[in-house]
């Protein structure tokens, strides 16, 4: 009997969870603890995975190459983030999701906005204590330390014949990936519990008054992905349909978990073993992208700002629309990468635009569903940016992409994926 792939198991769990939630209702919320355990097991290794991957990638680089590579990464991250924010504004004016919303109770919300200035936010990127940054899952600070550690490791490595620390980091990374592989076997159970809880306790009816918002967001996600996939496919001279197929597994995991952090190991594995991006590029761009390249979040924030302004009947000037694009882009830097993180970023942008903080409650009820689109766009575009940079750096293995080159068995079986699917 043919084994069901992990991707299909997750899809089945998602559908079964939503059906169970609708049929059983609120009582099924008691199984949410299973989903919480799954999320915690993945999250416990994410900081180590990110730091280890960045240290290995930067430590393997010639220090002179890092500046050039960093410039390319920053360019693609900022360009794509601003474009998606602009697309969100355009769709908000086209579909007008905030117009005609009535009878919605704007209750209080406990989500607190940051009151930091831009300079304070930038200073906050740099840790005073890396252990504290790791303990609090401050991704930006952890990545800054990892970049410096990797750079120092590369310099020391050039002075020595054997770089024992780099070898240790590579072995350590394999252990972390093995832990995640074991935990990912629990994904169908965790996702079933989470989706059953969402639909059972929140209910599908919460979507009805804000259906136009979710439709606009869904359309924007599809448009952005189609554009980005075709740009990457043309640049890499590959089939856009084949490239889309290779993004499928990470898309499913992103959509069902609504977490970029949880999807990171799957994204890295598929970038290297399905798309053909080198480990050096994948393990630098993908972790950085998780913290700095939140295209889905930037679109969500821009779309939300215009939606709420329509709800209150406020006309926005061109200057204010430009401000929304800038704020939506900046709010993505180092944002929370777990479910619910979008509301934290929204609580930062909404007051800055002069909109009532309590208006966040309007979108809070559908945040899980919004998070599905946010995370898919965040995750897929990270992999596409990694592909663009890999092509530019001549580190794109076309044989892996075309299925002509078999990767190592150890890597093929990562995360519980059926070996036979790697060459599909």
Residue 412 has pLDDT above 50, yes or no: no
Pairwise CA distance, residues 339 & 249, whole Å? 19
Who's near 169: CB < 8 A, 6+ residues apart?
52, 55, 56, 59, 153
Pairwise CA distance, residues 292 & 269, whole Å? 20
The tally of domains found in the chain comes to 1
Determine what percent of the chain is predicted with pLDDT higher than 70: 86
> Does residue 338 lie in a domain region?
yes
**Chain centre distance of CA 101:** 30
Residue for token digits 């899980």? Answer: 368
Q: Can you give the pLDDT at residue 333?
A: 66
Which whole number is the average pLDDT over 119-127?
79
> Does residue 254 lie in a domain region?
yes
Q: Which residues pair with 277 in a beta bridge?
A: 396
Lowest-confidence range among 99-103, 112-116, 216-220, 317-321?
112-116
pLDDT top residue among 86 and 357: 86
> Does residue 11 lie in a domain region?
yes
Q: Can you give the pLDDT at residue 194?
A: 85
- CB 331 within 8 Å of CB 284: no
> Does residue 244 lie in a domain region?
yes
- CB 76 within 8 Å of CB 389: yes
- CB 237 within 8 Å of CB 68: no
> Does residue 363 lie in a domain region?
yes
| The pair of three-digit structure tokens given for residue 154, joined into one six-digit string | 């590369």
Question: Whole-model pTM?
Answer: 0.77
Phi and psi angles of residue 396, each rounded to the nearest 5 degrees, phi first:
-105, 120
Nearest to 61 by CA among 175, 174, 177, 146: 146
Nearest to 307 by CA among 380, 215, 244, 181: 215
> Does residue 1 lie in a domain region?
no
Residue 341 has pLDDT above 80, yes or no: no
Q: Which residues pair with 396 in a beta bridge?
A: 277
Domain with 403 in it: what CATH number?
A: 1.10.3860.10
Residue 334 has pLDDT above 60, yes or no: no
Confidence of residue 118 (pLDDT cuts 50, 70, 90): low
Pairwise CA distance, residues 238 & 200, whole Å? 43
Give the range of the structural domain holding residue 200, as residue numbers without chain letter: 6-423
pLDDT tens column, 57-100: 888 777 777 778 888 988 999 999 999 999 999 999 999 988 86
> Does residue 235 lie in a domain region?
yes
Residue for token digits 């629309």? Answer: 321
Pairwise CA distance, residues 207 & 339, whole Å? 18
Residue for token digits 């898919």? Answer: 376
Listed ranges 39-43, 259-263, 300-304; the one with the highest mean pLDDT? 300-304
> Does residue 198 lie in a domain region?
yes
SS (H, E, C) the chain: CCCCCHHHHHHHHHHHHHHHHHHHCHHHHHHHHHHHHHHHHHHHHHHHHHHHHHHHHHHCCCHHHHHHHHHHHHHHHHHHHHHHHHHHHHHHHHHCCCCCCCCCCCCCCCCCCCCCCHHHHHHCCCCCCHHHHHHCCCHHHHHHHHHHHHHHHHHHHHHCCCCHHHHHHHHHHHHHHHHHHHHHCCHHHHHHHHHHHHHHHHCHHHHHHHHHHHHHHHHHHHHHHHHHHHHHHHHHCCCHHHHHHHCHHHHHHHHHHCCHHHHHHHHHHHHHHHHCECHHHHHHHHHHHHHHCCHHHHHHHHHHHHHHHHHCCCCCCHHHHHHHHHHHHHCCCCCCCCCCHHHHHHHHHHHHCCCCHHHHHHHHCCHHHHHHHHHHHHHHHHHHHHHHHHHHCCCECHHHHCCCCCCCHHHHCHHHCCHHHHHC
Size (the chain), residues:
424
Q: Can you give the pLDDT at residue 228?
A: 96
């Amino acid at each position: 009997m043919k084994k069901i792939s992990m991707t299909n198991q997750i899809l089945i769990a998602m559908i079964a969870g939503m059906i169970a939630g609708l049929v059983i209702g609120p009582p099924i919320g008691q199984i949410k603890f299973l989903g919480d355990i799954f999320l915690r097991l993945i999250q416990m290794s994410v900081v180590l995975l990110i730091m280890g991957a960045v240290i290995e990638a930067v430590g393997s680089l010639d220090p002179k190459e890092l500046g050039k590579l960093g410039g390319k990464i920053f360019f693609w991250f900022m360009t794509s983030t601003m474009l998606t924010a602009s697309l969100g504004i355009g769709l908000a004016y086209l579909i007008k999701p905030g117009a005609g919303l009535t009878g919605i109770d704007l209750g209080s919300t406990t989500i607190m906005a940051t009151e930091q200035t831009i300079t304070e936010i930038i200073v906050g990127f740099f840790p005073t204590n890396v252990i504290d940054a790791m303990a609090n899952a401050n991704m930006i600070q952890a990545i800054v330390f990892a970049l410096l550690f990797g750079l120092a490791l590369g310099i020391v490595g050039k002075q020595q014949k054997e770089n024992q620390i780099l070898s240790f980091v590579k072995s350590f990374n394999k252990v972390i990936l093995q832990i995640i592989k074991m935990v990912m076997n629990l994904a169908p159970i965790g996702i079933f519990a989470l989706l059953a809880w969402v639909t059972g306790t929140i209910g599908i009816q919460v979507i009805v008054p804000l259906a136009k918002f979710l439709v606009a967001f869904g359309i924007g996600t599809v448009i952005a992905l189609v554009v980005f996939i075709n740009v990457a496919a043309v640049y890499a001279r590959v089939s856009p349909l084949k490239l889309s197929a290779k993004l499928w597994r990470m898309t499913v995991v992103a959509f069902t978990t609504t977490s970029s952090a949880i999807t990171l190991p799957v994204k890295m594995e598929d970038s290297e073993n399905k798309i053909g991006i080198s480990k050096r590029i994948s393990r630098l761009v993908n972790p950085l992208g998780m913290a700095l390249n939140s295209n889905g979040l930037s679109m969500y924030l821009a779309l939300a700002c215009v939606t709420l302004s329509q709800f209150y009947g406020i006309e926005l000037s061109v200057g204010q629309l430009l401000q929304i694009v800038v704020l939506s882009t900046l709010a993505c830097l180092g944002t929370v990468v777990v479910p619910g993180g979008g509301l934290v970023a929204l609580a930062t942008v909404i007051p800055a635009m002069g909109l009532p903080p309590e208006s966040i409650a309007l979108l809070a009820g559908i945040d899980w569903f919004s998070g599905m689109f946010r995370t898919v766009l965040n995750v897929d575009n990270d992999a596409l940016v990694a592909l663009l940079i890999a092509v530019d750096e001549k580190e794109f293995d076309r044989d892996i992409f075309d299925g002509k080159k078999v990767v190592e068995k150890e890597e093929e079986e990562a995360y519980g994926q059926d070996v036979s699917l790697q060459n599909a």
